Amino acid sequence: MTVQVKSEHRCFNGVQGFYEHESKLCGGPMRFGVYMPPWKKPPVVYYLAGLECNEQTFAMKAGAQRIAAELGLALVMPDTSPRAARFPGDDASWDFGQAASFYVDATQAPWSSAYRMRSYIVDELRAVVEQRFNVATDRRGIMGHSMGGHGALTLGLSANTYDSVSAIAPIVAPSQVPWGVKAFTGYLGDDKRVWADHDATALVTAGKRTRNPVRIDQGSADKFLTTQLKPELFAAACKERGEALELVMHDGYDHGYYFVSTVISLQLQHHAGFLRR
């Protein structure tokens, strides 16, 4: 399994690198970032970025490396969609197609031939990381922001792979909001029973569980709070089904990376509490 080094940078006594490999699931080369802290065989936290982002966004904007170095966590940052496979209309809007995979395995043509991001994150990228980097193979966490928060919650609930799960300003009920309805219709078709397998609120309602309590950080001044994010729906489902959730509202914060960088320490401490042993 060949991994091409695009660049590597010394960072807080560790290394922030950017890499590329050939993906069978996504039909071409996929880029990803890895921060390796100055620890032996650290556990891994996968970070899923949001709409319009790529594998470099979190590494450059969140200020996570210093905290990961202190806590002894490796960070993996995949791209947000396949880039090599191109389809008509895949760059026509910012919330569907390129940089907007919603981390699902598409079932609708033409997307189903390459947009297999759920399986890519859970299986293929994990195998690449654990073969190429000296990381723990028995301790993994997953987190994300916005669309990536949706991905982190759904993968954390539906894949028996992650020991810790968190999200920042996530889309928690995509079946009920415009971003999700658009993406799910395009990638998954019109059958809302299929959508439920990719909806964190629906998954909890159906009895899915994470191994440890979920943490969500959400800004109260987020312009998408009431139309696209709706954390109260996920909180209500967790309460009804007995799923442990720590939902923390932060007064005055918006949706962007100023907020992400504000709460990243809290998020990574959450993961370290379950992954460091």
Q: Do 58 and 79 contact (CB within 8 A), yes or no?
A: no
Q: What is the pLDDT of residues 238-277, one digit of tens each?
A: 999 999 999 999 999 999 999 999 999 999 999 999 998 7
pLDDT recorded at residue 274 = 98
Q: What is the mean pLDDT of residues 170-187?
A: 98
**pLDDT tens-digit profile of 156-169?**
999 999 999 999 99
Q: How confident is the model at residue 54 (pLDDT cuts 50, 70, 90)?
A: very high
Q: Which residue has the tokens 């899915």?
A: 208
**Which residue numbers are catalytic?**
146, 222, 255
- Domains (ranges, CATH) in the chain? 3-275 (3.40.50.1820)
Asked whether the whole model's pTM tops 0.85, one would answer yes
Residue 160's φ and ψ, nearest 5 degrees, are -85, 60
Which of 239, 173, 166 lies closest to 202 in space, CA to CA?
Answer: 173
pLDDT for the residue 20: 98
- Res 85: pLDDT: 86
Nearest to 217 by CA among 176, 159, 275, 170: 170
Question: Average of pLDDT values for 46-70?
Answer: 98
Q: pLDDT tens digits, residue range 101-124?
A: 999 999 999 999 999 999 999 999
Q: What pLDDT digit, counting tens, does each position of 62-106 carry?
A: 999 999 999 999 999 999 999 998 899 999 999 999 999 999 999
Amino acid at 192: K
Please give the single-letter amino acid code of residue 31.
R
Asked if 152 and 167 touch (Cβ cutoff 8 Å), the reply is yes
| pLDDT for res 277 | 73
